[in-house]
């Protein structure tokens, strides 16, 4: 969670958090395929474990950590198509 509590970085078992989640994998906490950030002020959830062109990761991404103002998120990933 960001320092002010506005942003939360997480993984999830749900497959209906964002449109286009079609990689066929559960978004499972701790061993999830996707990392998300939720803006608690606007109610918008974004999947951030995608490439610069929006492609879904082809491997697991998990263990997100968000900085104090919510601008940066780091996470562990086995996907080789994110950068």
Give the whole-angstrom CA distance, residue 15 versus residue 26.
Answer: 7
Give the whole-angstrom CA distance, residue 69 versus residue 9.
Answer: 12
Give the whole-angstrom CA distance, residue 17 versus residue 6.
Answer: 18
Residue 30: pLDDT over 60: no
The CA–CA distances, whole Å, from 82 to 26, 27, 42 equal: 18, 17, 26
What's the pTM?
Answer: 0.80
Residue 24: pLDDT over 50: yes
Residue 67 located in a structural domain: yes
Residue 60 located in a structural domain: yes
Residue 6 located in a structural domain: yes
Residue 83 located in a structural domain: no
Q: Which domain holds residue 47?
A: 1-75
Residue 37 located in a structural domain: yes
Give the whole-angstrom CA distance, residue 22 versus residue 57.
Answer: 11
Please indicate whether residue 52 or residue 28 has the higher confidence score (pLDDT): 52
What is the predicted pLDDT for the residue at 13? Answer: 63
- Mean pLDDT of all residues in 56-63: 85
Count of structural domains, the chain = 1
Residue 36 located in a structural domain: yes
Token pair 């997100």 in the structure block, residue: 64
- Mean pLDDT of all residues in 14-41: 71
């Amino acid at each position: 969670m960001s320092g002010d509590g506005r942003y939360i970085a997480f993984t999830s078992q749900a497959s209906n958090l964002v449109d286009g989640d079609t990689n066929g994998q559960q978004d499972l906490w701790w061993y999830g395929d996707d990392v998300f950030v939720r803006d608690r002020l606007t109610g918008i959830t974004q999947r951030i474990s995608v490439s610069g062109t929006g492609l879904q990761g082809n491997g697991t991404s998990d263990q997100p950590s968000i900085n104090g103002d919510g601008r940066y998120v780091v996470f562990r990933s086995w996907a080789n198509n994110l950068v």
